[in-house]
Structure 1
Amino acid sequence: MYPVDLLKTRMQILNPSTGGLYTGLTNAVSTIYRIEGWRTLWKGVSSVIVGAGPAHAVYFGTYELVKDMAGGNVDEGHHPLAAATSGAAATIASDALMNPFDVMKQRMQVHGSVHKSLLQCARTLYHTEGFQAFYVSYPTTLCMTVPFTATQFVAYESISKVMNPKMEYDPFTHCIAGGLAGAFAAGLTTPLDVVKTLLQTRGVADSEEVRSARGLFNAAAIIKRQFGWTGFLRGMRPRIISTMPSTAICWTSYEMAKAYFKRHLD
């Protein structure tokens, strides 16, 4: 789903010089194909490849640990609070590891990016903007991912409970519940994702106002001033399109691995 994520980033960028090129999914795809070629759709994927594995290991490891401590594994009952708490804790831990990789990913995704490799992007970012550039969006990321993850986990647990009351291993249930939960959470948190994108790509912005964005509220004020309330919905469609199958695959893979290890360890 990486190419769709790249389209989302480009649709969220506030640069007036390129904003008109990415006004919709079809227009964005045709523009990239015509000007840069298909390979551009995977530009920056190395950052995800390097960071996603460790981040997901931390994510689900923290989730299971906190869920057990919160009493979510005591019986087969419905525990939305335990699910929300464990989901929030999981994302705080994993985002601390993944945030620098996400910053580099978006820097490589933007229109006209000069970064050819992950290492070169990291060096350039550090020398030109300092270490803080890797974490300038971390508070905003948490403001987005904590409610996103809490909403997703509650929705997943709730949908799974309805579709599969016995909570047995069922790939179909895990896939559908994961996809629906991800789509719902993605749509709900899109405004914060737009703010996060502005902060993570501020160094390549045309506008001096955007380049000097300092944090969540300042970035939100810039978006409101330049684009109005609709600016907070930029990239919602590709965000939902990329998140829905991603979370479906993620949850299905996770439940499959969990069921496998349970069988072999028991």
Structure 2
Amino acid sequence: MDFDDYESLPNGSVGVHMTAGALAGIMEHCVMFPIDSVKTRMQSLAPSPDAAYRSIREGLMKMVNSEGIMRPLGGVSAVVIGAGPAHALYFSAYEGIKARFASSNSLQNHMVNAGAGCGATILHDAIMVPADVIKQRMQMYNSPYASCYDCVRKLYRMEGMAAFYRSFTTQMAMNLPFHAIHIATYEKIQTVLNPDREYNPRVHMVAGAAAGAFAAASTTPLDMCKTVLNTQEASALVHLQQSRVVGILGAFRTIYIMNGMSGFFKGTRARVLYQMPGTAISWSVYELFKHMMSQRRSESPPPLWDSDLLKDNVVRESVTETDTSIKSSGSEGKVPVLTLGSTTNKTVERLRSLHMPTITANCAAADDSWLRK
């Protein structure tokens, strides 16, 4: 399959990107949600002895044994509701920006990819930040909320609408570099391992996992700040003698007072292990869906007149009236006439392969009709 066939999706490609992105996002977050639950608890500033985990495996075992088999999935419905539209906007915006500013210059393309990731992140976070707040409140040990709906209702009643966007600036400060690093790394690995940009599940998975791991490790301190702002951990607030943690600077101060410099890197391993398979799944599902749509496009029969050539003004199509005595299959003939502009041998060959059989058949039918007369 040609690069152009794979990279350019059929008409309505925005819808295709949004659908593929939504499926990829939901699968990524749902499959890796138990690991994310452990990561949130490992980032606790003052964990309960019953929720102090030394490893992901230990955390999952303790959660299941003491709180039930479904406890690692507490809050997953918030992610399902948020991840679909958030990732739909993310991938469609990313592809749109990348296509709009693509360049033949390699360095400039890396900058475009990183910029596309940053631009898409703004739309993504507008939806995902409130979902993250609900999710992390549900994931905490001894969470006082019975369900996601109960969490939304109580949060709004007690802390107002601001509670859902308290970590927005922090999450943006984290996600902008995260997605810039993530996208640039993914595209770079693709360039090295898959220069023809064909559909290659193994490369998509490896590139996605490596990009996610590198970006996750680089932005862990900001993720820690986001968790502190989202959870507003009661034991930490009591220790600091304050009602709540406000802003990214307040989060930095709280972490440093409670745990020192090492506190900024709590849960790094869990975050990396969560992001690696998560981003691998996300990119694999997205590229698979994109490949399936491009396959459908390549298998569809070509139109009589090549719309791409007409759109590029390489060919101008006109229809001329002919003598009504010349008929083909019993109907009045309207013979399509091609007028070639400046073009290349490749374009001429493409025209010939697409249209000459039809034109030849029409001419033969007209000759037969004339001879019979």
The bucket for the TM-score relative to the shorter chain is: over 0.9
Residues 145-164 of structure 1: matches in 2 within 5 Å? Answer: 145-164=175-194
2:115 aligned with 1:70: no
Alpha-carbon distance in 2 for matches of 1:228, 1:57: 38
User: Which residue identity lines up with residue 151 of structure 2 in the other structure?
Assistant: C
Q: Which residue of 2 aligns with 1:142?
A: 172
Alpha-carbon distance in 1 for matches of 2:204, 2:168: 30
Q: Which residue of 1 aligns with 2:244?
A: 212
Instruction: Name structure 1 gaps, 5 residues minimum.
Output: none
**Which residue of 56, 66, 69 corresponds with 1:25?**
56
CA-to-aligned-CA distance 1:25-82 (integer Å, 9 cap, x gap): 24323322332122111111111111111111001011011112222xx559562101
CA-to-aligned-CA distance 1:81-103 (integer Å, 9 cap, x gap): 01100001111111101110110
| 8 Å contact kept, 1:16–1:206 | no
**Equivalent pairs, count:** 264
Q: Which residue of 1 aligns with 2:13?
A: none
1:265 shift after superposition? 4.0
Residues 124-139 of structure 1: matches in 2 within 5 Å? Answer: 124-139=154-169
In angstroms, what is the RMSD of aligned CA positions?
1.8
Alpha-carbon distance in 1 for matches of 2:289, 2:61: 39
**Which residue of 257, 260, 268 corresponds with 1:225?**
257
State the TM-score, normalizing by the size of structure 2. 0.67
How much identity, in percent, do the aligned residues show?
Answer: 41
Q: Which residue of 2 aligns with 1:166?
A: 196
Alpha-carbon distance in 2 for matches of 1:86, 1:265: 26
| 8 Å contact kept, 2:34–2:60 | no
Residues 1-266 of structure 1: matches in 2 within 5 Å? Answer: 1-18=32-49, 21-71=52-102, 74=103, 79-202=109-232, 204-208=234-238, 209=240, 211-265=243-297
CA, structure 1 residues 20+264, in 2 after alignment: closer, same or farther (shift >3 Å)? closer
State the TM-score, normalizing by the size of structure 1. 0.93
Alpha-carbon distance in 2 for matches of 1:24, 1:42: 18
CA, structure 1 residues 9+16, in 2 after alignment: closer, same or farther (shift >3 Å)? closer
Alpha-carbon distance in 1 for matches of 2:288, 2:41: 34
CA, structure 1 residues 18+215, in 2 after alignment: closer, same or farther (shift >3 Å)? farther
Q: Which residue of 1 aligns with 2:326?
A: none
Alpha-carbon distance in 2 for matches of 1:19, 1:235: 17
* Greater share of helix: 1
User: Which residue identity lines up with residue 223 of structure 1 in the other structure?
Assistant: I
| 8 Å contact kept, 1:88–1:147 | yes
Tell me whether 238-247 or 199-208 shows the greater mean CA deviation. 199-208
| 8 Å contact kept, 2:41–2:141 | yes
Instruction: Name structure 2 gaps, 5 residues minimum.
Output: 1-31, 299-373
CA, structure 1 residues 157+58, in 2 after alignment: closer, same or farther (shift >3 Å)? same
| 8 Å contact kept, 2:125–2:172 | yes
| 8 Å contact kept, 1:76–1:167 | no
| 8 Å contact kept, 1:15–1:207 | no
| 8 Å contact kept, 2:236–2:258 | no
Look at both structures and tell me which one has the larger radius of gyration over its CA atoms. Answer: 2
User: Which residue identity lines up with residue 247 of structure 2 in the other structure?
Assistant: G
1:14 shift after superposition? 1.2
Alpha-carbon distance in 2 for matches of 1:44, 1:237: 22
CA, structure 1 residues 15+65, in 2 after alignment: closer, same or farther (shift >3 Å)? same
Task: Say which SS state the counterpart of residue 70 (structure 2) adopts.
Answer: helix
User: Which residue identity lines up with residue 36 of structure 2 in the other structure?
Assistant: D
* Greater share of strand: 2
1:20 shift after superposition? 6.3
| 8 Å contact kept, 1:55–1:97 | yes
Task: Say which SS state the counterpart of residue 200 (structure 1) adopts.
Answer: helix
Tell me whether 243-252 or 22-31 shows the greater mean CA deviation. 22-31
User: Which residue identity lines up with residue 137 of structure 1 in the other structure?
Assistant: S
CA, structure 1 residues 19+80, in 2 after alignment: closer, same or farther (shift >3 Å)? farther
